[in-house]
């Protein structure tokens, strides 16, 4: 049971992607970021990147850190967000399955220990990243609303987080 619970435990927890600076990543030996899109980078119903987010992507690029957006959302949504930014993306990723994570790593030509998965969901991003052997960072969702399946996932996540907390496995304040 404890081993299974560890699959849902992110290595780090931050308030937003903006807390993940190039220096933060370099200190951890990270050269590539696999990031979720909806409610991680922008609200699930916002079609494009905010000016602050564009600046964040630029800082990562200038620091030689590669980024790939890996989303369970459909092709059109992910393409319309990613293409104007020139950021590689994998839609319909079927997270927590590992295929898209491995595909992104291969495209960035990086090893597992050089890549981190950033996302707002334990059941897709953290579980998928951990199962693939990658470092994981959980971020607070940028929107307080979610699509249907995400609302369902959040209920399960709250139970998992409560169990992790009860077992003394969480090392951050909510």
CATH of the domain at 77: 3.40.50.1000
**Residues of the domain holding 130:** 2-166
> 38-82: per-residue pLDDT in tens?
999 999 889 999 999 999 999 999 999 999 999 999 999 999 999
In a domain, 48, yes or no: yes
In a domain, 76, yes or no: yes
> 115-172: per-residue pLDDT in tens?
999 999 999 999 999 999 999 999 999 987 666 777 788 889 989 988 988 888 887 6
Instruction: Tally the domains of the chain.
Output: 1
In a domain, 21, yes or no: yes
In a domain, 171, yes or no: no
* Residue spans of alpha helices (H) in 71-147: 75-82, 99-108, 127-131
Calpha distance 146→65 (Å, rounded): 29
In a domain, 172, yes or no: no
Tokens of 26: 């370099």
In a domain, 173, yes or no: no
Calpha distance 40→91 (Å, rounded): 15
Tokens of 156: 């399960």
In a domain, 32, yes or no: yes
Q: Tell whether pTM > 0.75.
A: yes
* Residue spans of alpha helices (H) in the chain: 2-6, 22-27, 51-62, 75-82, 99-108, 127-131, 148-166
Calpha distance 36→5 (Å, rounded): 22
In a domain, 98, yes or no: yes
């Amino acid at each position: 049971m404890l081993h299974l619970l560890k699959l849902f435990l992110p290595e780090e927890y931050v308030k937003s992607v903006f807390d993940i600076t190039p220096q933060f990543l370099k200190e951890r030996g990270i050269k590539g970021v696999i990031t979720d899109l909806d409610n991680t980078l922008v609200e699930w119903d916002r079609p494009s990147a905010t000016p602050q987010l564009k600046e964040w992507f630029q800082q990562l690029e200038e620091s030689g850190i590669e980024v790939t957006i890996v989303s369970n959302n459909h092709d059109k949504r992910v393409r319309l967000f990613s293409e104007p930014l020139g950021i590689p993306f994998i839609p319909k990723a079927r997270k927590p399955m590992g295929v898209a994570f491995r595909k992104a790593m291969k495209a960035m030509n990086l090893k597992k220990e050089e890549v981190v998965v950033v996302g707002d969901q334990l059941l897709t991003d953290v579980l998928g990243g951990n199962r693939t052997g990658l470092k994981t960072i959980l971020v607070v969702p940028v929107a307080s609303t979610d699509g249907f399946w995400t609302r369902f996932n959040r209920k399960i996540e709250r139970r998992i987080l409560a169990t992790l907390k009860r077992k003394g496995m969480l090392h951050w304040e909510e």
